[in-house]
Amino acid sequence: MASIQRRKDTYRVRIKRVGKSTLSATFITRPEALQWAKDTEAQIRLGLYQEAPVTADTPQRTEGISFAEAATHYMKTHSIHKKIVRCESSRLRILIKRWGDIPVKQVDKLAVLALRDDLLKLGRSGETINHYFNTISKLFQMLEGDWDLPMPNPIRGIRRMPCPQGRTKRVNASVEEQLLLSCGKLSMPLLSSIIEFAIQTGMRRGELMGLNWVDVDLPNRKAYLHTSKNGEPRQVPLTQRAVAVLQSLGKKDEGTVFPMSMSVLRNHFERIRTYCKSNWSAVGVNPFDGLRFHDLRHEALSRLSDAGLNVIELSHISGHKTLGMLKRYVHCSHQAIFAKLDSPDQSNEANKVRTFVG
């Protein structure tokens, strides 16, 4: 009987067979995994299932396989189905340069600890090192699950590195104004709309660039995201200012809302950031030093928190599943906290408490 295991953003199906190797496949959605399991089990029962032929891209399942062969096969069969395919493939290519020619069974705990120490010497963060750990662990899970190679996972027993504190940079009104004015000076009106819409919605860069007009409901003020980083769809409520941004673009029946590629967005935002940084003349720390596009998402959620939204409402908008991750994105301003502390409702509650205690 087939078993389906959720593994972060993917679903792995395993079908065990008596006297034969275990069949395994990975899918993005659970319905796809279920359908593959039903079809494959039906073929096995009817005697119609045919073993996949061994090709140059399918290494023999022996312990003599090199790390490069295993990692390359993993990228073609597992990484390709993930949203993090670009990042995971990049890490695997770096690991291939390090361990490519040696047998994969020689990549043991000592080798991984040496990798950790070298990454620390290069100044890599604990979070980055943990990503390498996760990638290596997934690769060895493939060796055991897909190829039935009894190799111990070298990550097992290694303590994960502590993650750094979340960024606390706020994009206040003056910084936002400077960004938008600079977009006008450098003739980048579409980037101006993207920045303003990002601050109003808290959507990720990929979500913004993938938003289509058919998924925008202006009368009901919401945008529907079919896919997100956590693998689940969500609806994003649109503020009046966000609606105004969309209306200024001229709503269309089809196509992307912001017709700009990810690479162009990165280049244009860096150009604007550099321009603003060089023209900053106020006293104090330059707010454009180290500014990232993702900081706009932090600012959006922080502003919504300042407006009085609770954590349930914030998580509904942001798509975060845990309070810990949401906490890394929300940075309440002292002014908003003081406004709540000094509000008449808060004073009345304090009086009730004093009366009850007395």
> Tokens 């407006």 appear where?
307
Spatial CA neighbour of 101 closest among 71, 136, 65, 66 = 66
Strands 20-27 and 10-17: antiparallel
Each residue of 16-28: b (16+ CB within 10 Å) or e?
eeeeeeebbbbbe
pLDDT at 314: 82
Per-residue pLDDT reduced to its tens digit, 285-344 = 899 998 999 999 988 888 888 888 888 888 878 877 776 666 666 666 666 666 766 666
Q: How far is the CA of 260 from the CAs of 21, 247, 264, 266, 274, in angstroms?
A: 47, 18, 6, 10, 20
pLDDT at 356: 40
Q: Could you tell me which residues come within 8 angstroms of residue 345 by beta carbon, excluding any fewer than 6 positions away?
A: none
The single-letter code of the amino acid at 298 is: H
> Tokens 């963060």 appear where?
125
- The C-alpha angle with vertex 18 and arms to 70 and 76, in degrees rounded to 5, equals 20
How many whole angstroms separate alpha carbon 233 and alpha carbon 235?
A: 7
Sequential DSSP letters for 149-172? -----TTTTPPPPPPPPPP-----
Query: What three-state secondary structure class fits 10?
Result: strand
Is residue 196 within 8 A of residue 245, CB to CB? The reply is: yes
Q: Is the pTM of this model over 0.85?
A: no
Which residues of the chain have a pLDDT value below 70? 1, 7-9, 51-63, 164-168, 230-231, 323-338, 340-358
pLDDT at 239: 92
DSSP E strands in the chain: the ranges are 2-7, 10-17, 20-27, 216-217, 222-225, 234-237
pLDDT at 200: 93
